[in-house]
Amino acid sequence: MKARVHVMLKTGVLDPQGEAVRHALGQLGFDGVEGVRQGKVIEIDLAESDAGAARETVTRMCETLLANTVIESYSVELV
Indicate whether 34 belongs to the interface with its own copies (CB under 8 A): yes
> DSSP 3-state assignment of 50?
coil
Residue 33 is a binding residue for its own copies (CB under 8 A): yes
**Total residues at the site for its own copies (CB under 8 A)?**
32
Restricted to residues 10-29, the positions that interact with its own copies (CB under 8 A) are 18, 21, 24-25, 28
6 contacts 40 by C-beta, under 8 angstroms:
yes
Residue 42 as a binder of its own copies (CB under 8 A): the answer is: yes
The Cβ-side half-sphere exposure at 69, using a 13 Å CA radius, reads: 8
Residues 6+ apart with CB under 8 A from 55: 3, 76, 78
Binding site for its own copies (CB under 8 A): 6, 8, 18, 21, 24-25, 28, 30-48, 57, 60-61, 64-66
